[in-house]
Amino acid sequence: MAKKKIYCECLNTVKPVRDTLDVISGKWKLPIIISVGVGNSRFTDIQESIPGLTPKVLAKELKELEQHQLIKRLIIEDYPVKIVYHLEPYADTLTPIIYAMKDWGISHREKIFKK
């Protein structure tokens, strides 16, 4: 009757992709995860390792990443007291996404400059 020819099976992919975007969207979350993953654990080190990142944005993003259980904030009761951030094991599950995006970004840049 009604000619419904819209392909709706794309929702099987669209929905989980949007769930993922809800967690890692924005300019800074993946860069912060990468920086912490590579060994930066102090607030200032993370900030300085990512050009353009301001303390306000870093503080906000770290809180969100903590809530999503991707990053752990630890207070080290030493003299002086230190605060370190490190990745939760759960953040490792993002590795395939990060590498896929790294690879694509590299070849995209090559493509753009070859023309």
Partner DNA sequence: TATAGTGATTTCCTAAAGGAAAGTGAATTA
Partner DNA sequence: TAATTCACTTTCCTTTAGGAAATCACTATA
For residue 88, which of 76, 72, 101 has the smallest C-alpha distance?
72
Residue 8 or 81: the one with the smaller Cβ distance to a copy of itself is 8
From a copy of itself, DNA, none, interface partner of 101 (C-beta below 5 to 8 A by class): a copy of itself
Structure tokens at 94: 């993002």
Instruction: Rule CB under 7 A: say whether 80 interacts with DNA.
Output: yes
Instruction: Rule CB under 8 A: say whether 30 interacts with a copy of itself.
Output: yes
Residue with tokens 């395939």: 96
From DNA, a copy of itself, none, interface partner of 88 (C-beta below 5 to 8 A by class): none
How far apart are the C-alpha atoms of 27 and 38, rounded to whole Å?
Answer: 18
CB of 10: closest distance to DNA in angstroms? 17
Contact 91, 71 (CB under 8 A): yes
CB of 77: closest distance to a copy of itself in angstroms? 22
Q: In angstroms, what is the C-alpha Rg of the chain?
A: 19
Quick one: which of 1, 2, 3, 14 contacts a copy of itself (CB under 8 A)? 14
Using CB under 7 A, which residues numbered 45 to 64 contact DNA?
45, 52-57, 59, 62
